[in-house]
Amino acid sequence: MSTLVIEGLRATVAGREILRGVDLTVHSGEVHAVMGPNGAGKSTLSHVLMGRPGYTVTGGQVLLDGVDLLPLPTWKRAQAGLFLGMQYPIEVPGVSLRDVLAEAFTASGRDATQVPALVGAEAARVGFDERFLLRSMNADLSGGERKRNETVQLGVLGPRFAVLDEIDSGLDVDALRAVSRRIEAATTESGLGVLAITHYTRLLKELHPDRVHVLSKGRIVTSAGPELADELESTGYAGWAEDMEEPAGGATAAGRPPDPFADPFA
């Protein structure tokens, strides 16, 4: 049994405080949904957890089985068992999915000769076209194909905890079901713990969250059982949805530097 504890996590981007004290605990095998209005800080939370450059952590800790991840570089967080499915998976010209996963296996002392078979099996499970496995990662892939690619990586790597940032966006109904089933199977087969960021209950109907949290203005403002997701679907984020206030002289959405992870097709 593993535990991921996020405690009082605070972070700034471009001088502006986005995360203002996030507290969340996820145990092996649990699925926690994080919902919340646009701009609440959901993607920021996922990036800060994985250690993306450009964010300054100003408080709190993130403990995976008692080890603080925040001082570690991203690759060590991955080796510790944390996985991020990105909202906008990037293209990596010249590097195939298979190369990436083989390198990850080698770097963590696992047998990389197993990778092609594992990748093939995982691709079949989520309907990810075999043609894409040897091509540059994410090159010319649709949004939905990129999400399936992320899910193949998750299946092959077998992390202890996965943060999935809108894994459902761009997926059609069949793909959504296949991806959700794969993730749910991991929660029982290998005890994967999941932090699923989403706007839609359609994902949660398949993924069956144990807890649903609302993140607003950089904090978890309410947490409840799966019924909260249904409630939010009818009420929206009334009361939580106001934009985060801009500090005087701070960075604005319009004035911020370009995001290298932004979806060029959005």
In the complex, the residues that contact ligand ADP under the rule CB under 6 A are 13-14, 18, 36, 38-44, 54, 244, 251, 253, 256, 259
80 binds, among ligand ADP, Mg ion, none (CB under 5 to 8 A by kind): none
CB of 42 to Mg ion, least distance (A): 5
DSSP 133-176: GSSEETTT--HHHHHHHHHHHHHHH--SEEEEESTTTT--HHHH
CB nearer ligand ADP, residue 38 or residue 114: 38
CB of 114 to Mg ion, least distance (A): 34
CB of 110 to ligand ADP, least distance (A): 32
CB of 171 to ligand ADP, least distance (A): 18
Q: Mask 6-45, x = binds Mg ion (CB under 5 A)?
A: ------------------------------------xx--
CB nearer ligand ADP, residue 140 or residue 245: 245
CB of 263 to ligand ADP, least distance (A): 12
CB of 87 to Mg ion, least distance (A): 5
Integer Cα distance of 237 and 232 in angstroms? 6
Q: Which of residues 78-97 bind Mg ion (CB under 5 A)?
A: 87
256 binds, among ligand ADP, Mg ion, none (CB under 5 to 8 A by kind): ligand ADP
Residue 73's SS3 state is coil
DSSP 191-231: --EEEEE-S-HHHHHHH--SEEEEEETTEEEEEE-THHHHH
Size, binding site for Mg ion by CB under 5 A: 3
222 φ/ψ angles, rounded to the nearest 5 degrees: -155, 150
Degrees (nearest 5) of the Cα angle 51, 119, 259?
30
CB nearer Mg ion, residue 18 or residue 115: 18
Residue 12, token pair as written in the block = 């700034």
Integer Cα distance of 72 and 241 in angstroms? 33
Integer Cα distance of 231 and 254 in angstroms? 33
CB nearer ligand ADP, residue 94 or residue 258: 258
DSSP 93-107: EEEEHHHHHHHHHHH
226 binds, among Mg ion, ligand ADP, none (CB under 5 to 8 A by kind): none
Amino acid at 200: Y
Residues that bind Mg ion (CB under 5 A): 42-43, 87
